[in-house]
């Protein structure tokens, strides 16, 4: 072979591709946090920064901006010059280059605290290696809110000049410190290491944690390959028509994208979520897996999800008027039905539920504890118990 006898002119393409893959892995892990079904509802790829997490909470919309930077030398530590454009040997702040500081990794991250103001929750520098002692001292000083470090003082003193194009009026010192305090560092991140060896088990565990899907080797590789492909697709191409609709289409990853990759019924999820189910993704997954292995179609899965939603509402409306003994007896009888119909691997055949459900209703009526429970509510109660036991 001849290729190995001559060194190439450059390998920047291979290096940049590896860095891009690391960025995609990080965005993919962030996207999986959407499955937790709490505040995080979007991840935007290669938009304003390497990726952005959107959160919706009581304070409204908030964004977390990430810059992902890797280094192939695992024993290397980031220096102030590399991440902040600061020359640590220069003592006079006026002699520090504003351009280098502004265009540094951290300088670009901090710009988001100005552009997005109160909607910027945090800006995060994420990497596969660690920081030098000078960088660690700076981080510690900022995190404690002391601002006694000479480099944090430098940031404060230069902040208004660095971002003068984006600030209508100079910010007060307290406002500047508040913005700098949004800076966080995440170092030695395992799934950013070279290759996918660390990424795969971490991603697989997060999928199981959020959806109760325990993936085998082949299935996990297929799903994670699709997830990375989704992130890559959402990271490419210029968004020419800058509208919220186009941003969502070109750069945004939502729960529906993830449900599609995991083959979880989006309609079942919507039914459960609209009904106030705090674990709608996980419960939709459990209901679907309980039924689909025995051949249940999408309509049956939706029907059972709606029944569970109706049962949850019935419990909310009636729990305070039902005696504890009666309620726990109803629960116990539901578990008895489950024990009688559930097959190996936790699978239930829908067609085998009709008679046990009718017998369950008759049993409740004979003991005068039916409280208006009909067949649909009973079916919903059955799946409510199933998801409670498996969550």
CA–CA gap between residue 182 and residue 32 (Å, rounded)? 23
Whose tokens are 């992902």? That residue is: 68
> What's the number of domains the chain is made of?
2
Residue 244 domain-assigned (yes or no): no
Please report whether residue 293 resides in a domain.
yes
Which of 153, 170, 192 delimits the end of a domain? 192
Please classify residue 70 by burial: count the beta carbons closer than 10 Å to its beta carbon, then call 0-12 exposed, 13-18 middle and 19+ buried.
buried
Lowest mean pLDDT among 36-40, 173-177, 299-303: 36-40
Mean pLDDT of 227-236: 92
Question: Of 192, 214, 241, which residue is a domain's last?
Answer: 192
Q: Are strands 252-253 and 60-69 parallel, antiparallel or unpaired?
A: unpaired
The pLDDT tens digits of the residues spanning 43-71 come to 999 988 999 999 987 878 899 999 999 98
Q: What are 286-312's pLDDT values in tens digits? A: 999 899 888 889 999 999 999 999 999
Residue 277 has pLDDT above 70, yes or no: yes
Domain membership flag for residue 249: no
Q: Does residue 106 sit within a domain? A: yes
In the prediction, which pLDDT does 87 show? 86
Domain range for 338 is 266-390
Residue among 211, 260, 208, 250 at smallest CA distance from 37: 211
pLDDT of 16 higher than 90: no
Residues 14 and 115 in one domain: yes
Q: Which long-range contacts (CB under 8 A, 24 or more apart) does 162-165 make?
A: 162/98, 162/101, 162/102, 162/107, 162/110, 163/102, 163/110, 163/111, 163/114
Establish if 211 belongs to a structural domain: no
C-alpha angle 391-352-347 in degrees, rounded to nearest 5? 35
**Contact (Cβ atoms closer than 8 angstroms) between residue 288 and residue 80:** no
Q: Residues 287-321, buried b or exposed e (16+ Cβ, 10 A)?
A: bbbbbbeeebeeebbbbbbbbbbbbbebbeeeeee
DSSP reduced 3-state for 352: helix
CA dist 32 and 258 (Å) reads: 8
Please indicate, yes or no, whether residues 23 and 170 belong to a single structural domain of this protein: yes
Task: Count other Cβ atoms within 10 Å, centred on residue 243.
Answer: 9
Residue 245 placed within a domain: no
- The answer to which of 86-90, 148-152, 250-254, 321-325 has the lowest mean pLDDT is 86-90
Q: Where are the beta strands (DSSP E) in the chain?
A: 40-47, 49-57, 60-69, 77-78, 120-127, 130-131, 183-186, 252-253
Pair (188, 288) in one structural domain = no
Q: Is residue 267 very low, low, confident or very high in pLDDT (cuts 50, 70, 90)?
A: very high
Burial label, 199 (beta-carbon count in 10 A; 0-12, 13-18, 19+): buried
Q: How far is CA 105 from CA 8, 14, 86, 139, 212, in A?
A: 29, 21, 11, 14, 38
Statement to judge: residues 164 and 298 lie in one domain: no
Q: Note whether 174 and 280 are same-domain residues.
A: no
Mean pLDDT of 109-133: 94
Task: Judge contact between 80 and 88, C-beta under 8 A.
Answer: yes
Domain shared by 177 and 74, yes or no: yes
Tell me: do 188 and 270 sit in the same domain.
no
Q: What is the mean predicted confidence (pLDDT) over 233-257?
A: 89
Residues 284 and 152 in one domain: no
- Residues 374-389 have pLDDT tens digits of 999 999 999 999 999 8
* Residue 251 forms part of a structural domain: no
Provide mean pLDDT across the span 316-340.
95
Q: Answer whether 253's CB lies under 8 Å from 42's CB.
A: yes
Q: Do 179 and 316 fall within a single domain?
A: no
Residue where one domain finishes, among candidates 192, 207, 231: 192
Q: For residue 287, is it within any domain?
A: yes
- Gap between the Cα atoms of 369 and 122, Å rounded: 53
CA dihedral 207, 213, 218, 223 (to 10 degrees): -50
């Amino acid at each position: 072979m001849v290729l190995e006898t001559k060194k190439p002119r450059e390998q920047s393409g291979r290096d940049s591709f590896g860095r891009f893959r690391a960025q995609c892995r990080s965005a993919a892990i962030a996207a999986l946090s959407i499955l937790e079904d709490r505040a995080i509802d979007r991840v935007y790829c290669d938009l304003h920064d390497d990726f952005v997490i959107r959160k919706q909470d009581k304070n409204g919309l908030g964004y977390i901006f990430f810059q992902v930077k890797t280094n192939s030398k695992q024993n290397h530590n980031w220096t102030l010059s590399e991440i902040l454009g600061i020359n640590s040997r220069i003592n006079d702040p006026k002699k520090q280059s504003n351009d280098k500081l502004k265009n540094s990794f951290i300088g670009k991250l901090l710009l988001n605290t100005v552009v997005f103001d109160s909607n910027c929750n945090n800006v995060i520098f994420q990497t596969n290696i660690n920081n030098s002692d000078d960088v660690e001292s700076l981080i510690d000083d900022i995190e404690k809110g002391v601002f006694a470090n000479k480099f944090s003082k430098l940031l404060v003193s230069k902040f208004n000049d660095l971002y003068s194009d984006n600030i209508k009026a100079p910010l007060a010192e307290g406002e500047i410190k508040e913005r700098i305090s949004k800076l966080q560092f995440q170092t030695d991140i395992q799934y950013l290491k070279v290759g996918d060896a660390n990424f795969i088990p971490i991603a697989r565990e997060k999928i199981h944690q959020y959806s109760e899907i325990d993936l085998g080797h082949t299935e996990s590789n297929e799903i994670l390959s699709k997830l990375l492909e989704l992130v890559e697709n959402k990271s490419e191409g210029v968004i020419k028509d800058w509208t919220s609709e186009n941003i969502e289409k070109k750069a945004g990853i939502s729960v529906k994208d993830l449900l599609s990759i995991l083959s979880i019924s989006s309609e079942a999820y919507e039914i459960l979520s609209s009904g106030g189910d705090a674990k709608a993704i996980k419960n939709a997954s459990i209901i679907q897996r309980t039924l689909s292995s025995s051949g249940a179609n999408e309509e049956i899965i939706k029907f059972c999800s709606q029944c569970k939603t109706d049962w949850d509402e019935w419990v909310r409306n009636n729990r305070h008027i039902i005696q504890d003994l009666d309620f726990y007896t109803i629960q116990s009888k539901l578990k008895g039905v489950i024990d009688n119909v559930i097959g190996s691997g936790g699978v239930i055949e829908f067609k085998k539920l009709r008679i046990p459900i009718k017998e369950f209703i008759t049993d409740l009526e004979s003991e005068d504890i039916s409280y208006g429970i009909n067949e649909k509510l009973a079916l919903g109660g059955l799946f409510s118990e199933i998801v409670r036991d498996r969550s």
